[in-house]
Chain A
Amino acid sequence: MIGALQGWIDDPTVATVLLGAVVGMAATVVGTFLLLRKSTMLTDAIGHSVLFGIVVGFLVVGDLHHPALTLGAALAGLLTVAGTRALEATGRVRSDAAIGLVFPLLFALGVLLAGRYAGDAHLDADAVLVGEIGFAWIDVAPFFGLELPRALRTMLVVLALDAVLVASLWKELKVGAFDPGFAAAVGLAPGAVATALLAATSLTAVAAFDAVGAVLFVAFVVAPPAAGLLLANRVGTMLAIGLVVSVAASIGGYAAALAYDLAIAPAMALVAGALVAGALLVGPRHGLVAHVVRSRTRGLDLDARALLVHLATHAEAEAEARENTRPALREHLGWRAAKVERVVRHALDGGFVERGRAGEGLRPTGRGRAWIEEAGPEGETRGG
């Protein structure tokens, strides 16, 4: 059994896709709440600032694989948050400007320090951005009886930590995201919870960078949760959708990278973005298609109401038979034939209008009369 599992994981394709999926899921778990709290740009900033922490850590311990680097990076992430908040607190710098001041400074300091004191170290730009996910499967380490790629092992631990954090602070995170004032009032400690979330994010960022690079990490923090936000109305559903999207993006991205000879990490990010675009277009509640359909229906409803008012006005007069035929409608309402047909069809379908006896035109039904007498969309009453 273990042997079979080991054989499966030893396959470079499987290992790579699995790594992407685990990174995606970890990023989605924290990203769901980051998106709700509008802290995703801050996360991008953290992602850039960790270079500073890594460089300082390296300068202190002199070893590129020492855990101190991870610690330094996580601390740099918290420093970014603290610095940004401090600037905002002065009242002179808005949140977006504060973000734009802190992370470039830290990144620049990191580059300068690395240039002066760590000139020979392998701090390669490409690797930082794009990661080396394609090669992560080579470097293995033991994990519960299996030989896993080191990066995968790290990410599984991080995923577990993130999951535990989010599960235990679920209520606090939810309320803190939507109503921090209320959360503070009922003792749900939104400030401390936010710090915990950002600390977990920094840790996830550091672990993910090694595997997939900065670009994919940020994409995975925002895109799957975005897809979830567009399709769901509850946080739990949003998170679940995000998890599915991140796994799909990992699989699809790897396939695309093979097919078109692209780097794997950017390809995964692109597929995630494409899935968000899909959610935007076809989401049943908030998608563009649904939006357009609803607008058209609203438009038809308004026109049907106009039709009904016209019919009701002429209903009692002798002229009804003449006024309520289609040609008369065209003339009186000023609609083209096609529009008259559309609106009449819509009104008939809704049961607001019925055909009169042979020779007569259309007339409103009881339901139709009630419809136009209730408040219209603007809150005014019509008819009568």
Chain B
Amino acid sequence: MNELWAILIDGSTRTVLLGAALLGALTGGLGTFAVLRRQSLLGDVLAHAALPGIVAAFLLSGERALPVLVVGALASGLLWSAVLQVLARHTRLGADGATTLVLSVSFALGLALLTAAQSRGDAAAAGLQTFLFGQAAALLPGDVVLLAAVALVLVAGVALAWPALALVAFDPGYARSVGVPVRALEAALTGALAVAVVLGLQLVGVVLITALVVAPAIAARPWVARLAPLVAMAAATGAAAGAIGALVSAVDRDAATGPVVVVAVTLAAIVSVALAVARGRRRVRAGAAQAATARGSA
């Protein structure tokens, strides 16, 4: 028990805990918009498409500094998501085909660049691989500060654009008709999500990031209808999952943080949906019972 306490109050555990919670909140909160816009897999695309940008940024700048790589990832993610929009809307390929195509080709480009960088003897390029599978344990206090700063900026941005954003999330057609700059706001939302995704890659890696984007919103959706509480609840769910992952991983060395976070948040979503379905059934049964009683007494 004392040993457990010692682990919990350890500085690096606190760092990972804070970082994981922040990341979970960021991706969960921003992911809500993507889920509402039926673009749940946008996080997946942004994560895969980030890789060529990350490697290019590293090759061009010669540095592994996080801000540099984030800028590269962001640029690449936004570029490829624009390609995705064009392919999905203006060709026969459709949303599904376009998504898979962009995801796999952009990631292949990233891998090709990565292997080219590695073969040229850049030892530091190997470190980029943590983006593929996450390495929460490597979070430094400086990273957490950066995360908090980014979170503040994004929250401020979302708050500023709030009424228009809410419209765009729920009814873009109406928003466009009353003069809201829908395209610009959608691009901004994609950009914000791209930032969250790129940062979240450190926690869970490219395969699992989708869960952090989708599950919190799905967990919150059946219980909350209005956008502000929905985003808040999704962020809270994401944060809780992040914290659970960090704690479990600190106690059990064999359990990597990223996967535990994903299991926690996805189970939350599944349980939430199951409860909602049960609640729906109960209501239907109660309604039917009421109707039967009314008929019986008429």
Residues of A within 8 A of B (CB): 35, 38-41, 43-44, 48, 87, 90, 92-94, 96-97, 99-101, 103-105, 107-109, 111-112, 115-116, 119, 125-126, 129-130, 215-216, 218-219, 221-223, 226, 229-230, 260-263, 265-267, 269-270, 272-273, 276, 280, 286
A-B residue pairs in contact (CB < 8 Å), sample of 6:
A41-B99, A105-B211, A111-B259, A116-B254, A215-B107, A262-B115
> Knowing A92-B221, A222-B97, A267-B112 touch, does A108 contact B92 (C-beta < 8 A)?
no
- Once the chains bind, are A263 and B221 in contact (CB under 8 Å)? no
- Once the chains bind, are A222 and B101 in contact (CB under 8 Å)? yes
Contacts of A125 in B (CB 8 A): 129, 132-133
Residues of B within 8 A of A (CB): 35, 38-41, 43-44, 87, 91-97, 99-101, 103-105, 107-109, 111-112, 115-116, 119, 129, 132-133, 207-208, 210-211, 213-215, 217-218, 221-222, 254-256, 258-260, 262-263, 266-267, 269-270, 273-274, 276-277
- Once the chains bind, are B40 and A97 in contact (CB under 8 Å)? yes
Contacts of B276 in A (CB 8 A): 90, 92
- Once the chains bind, are A93 and B273 in contact (CB under 8 Å)? yes
Bound together, the chains give a CA A229 to CA B101 distance in angstroms of 13
- Once the chains bind, are A100 and B210 in contact (CB under 8 Å)? yes
**Distance of B238 from chain A, by nearest CB (Å):** 14
**Distance of A83 from chain B, by nearest CB (Å):** 9
Known pairs A97-B217, A112-B259. 20 more at Cβ < 8 A? A40-B96, A90-B277, A96-B38, A96-B39, A96-B40, A97-B35, A99-B41, A100-B214, A107-B259, A107-B262, A108-B208, A108-B211, A108-B259, A115-B254, A229-B97, A261-B116, A266-B111, A266-B112, A272-B105, A286-B91
- Once the chains bind, are A263 and B100 in contact (CB under 8 Å)? no
**Distance of B218 from chain A, by nearest CB (Å):** 6
- Once the chains bind, are B116 and A129 in contact (CB under 8 Å)? no
Contacts of B91 in A (CB 8 A): 230, 280, 286
Contacts of B96 in A (CB 8 A): 35, 38-41
- Once the chains bind, are B218 and A97 in contact (CB under 8 Å)? yes
A-B contact count (CB 8 A): 179
Contacts of B95 in A (CB 8 A): 38
- Nearest 5 A/B pairs, CB to CB: A273-B105, A269-B108, A104-B211, A108-B259, A40-B100
Contacts of B115 in A (CB 8 A): 130, 262-263, 266
Contacts of A94 in B (CB 8 A): 38, 40
Bound together, the chains give a CA A196 to CA B189 distance in angstroms of 39
Bound together, the chains give a CA A35 to CA B103 distance in angstroms of 15
- Once the chains bind, are B259 and A109 in contact (CB under 8 Å)? yes
Task: Name A51's closest neighbour in chain B (CB-CB).
Answer: B207
Bound together, the chains give a CA A216 to CA B254 distance in angstroms of 30
Contacts of A223 in B (CB 8 A): 101, 104-105
Count chain B CB atoms within 10 A of each CB in A105, A125, A218 and give the residue with the most.
Answer: A105
Contacts of B263 in A (CB 8 A): 105, 108-109, 112
- Once the chains bind, are B97 and A270 in contact (CB under 8 Å)? no
Contacts of B259 in A (CB 8 A): 107-109, 111-112, 115
- Once the chains bind, are A92 and B277 in contact (CB under 8 Å)? yes
Contacts of B273 in A (CB 8 A): 87, 90, 92-93
Contacts of B208 in A (CB 8 A): 104, 107-108
Contacts of A103 in B (CB 8 A): 210
Bound together, the chains give a CA A107 to CA B259 distance in angstroms of 8
Task: Name B99's closest neighbour in chain A (CB-CB).
Answer: A41
Contacts of B262 in A (CB 8 A): 104-105, 107-108
- Once the chains bind, are B108 and A273 in contact (CB under 8 Å)? yes
Contacts of B132 in A (CB 8 A): 125, 129
Task: Name B217's closest neighbour in chain A (CB-CB).
Answer: A97
Contacts of B254 in A (CB 8 A): 115-116, 119
- Once the chains bind, are B218 and A101 in contact (CB under 8 Å)? yes
Bound together, the chains give a CA A105 to CA B215 distance in angstroms of 10
**Distance of B54 from chain A, by nearest CB (Å):** 15
- Once the chains bind, are B44 and A100 in contact (CB under 8 Å)? yes
- Once the chains bind, are A112 and B255 in contact (CB under 8 Å)? yes
**Distance of B255 from chain A, by nearest CB (Å):** 6
**Distance of B250 from chain A, by nearest CB (Å):** 15
**Distance of B139 from chain A, by nearest CB (Å):** 19
* Cross-chain contact of A269 among B104, B119, B207, B218 (Cβ < 8 A): B104
> Knowing A219-B108, A263-B112, A273-B105 touch, does A100 contact B93 (C-beta < 8 A)?
no
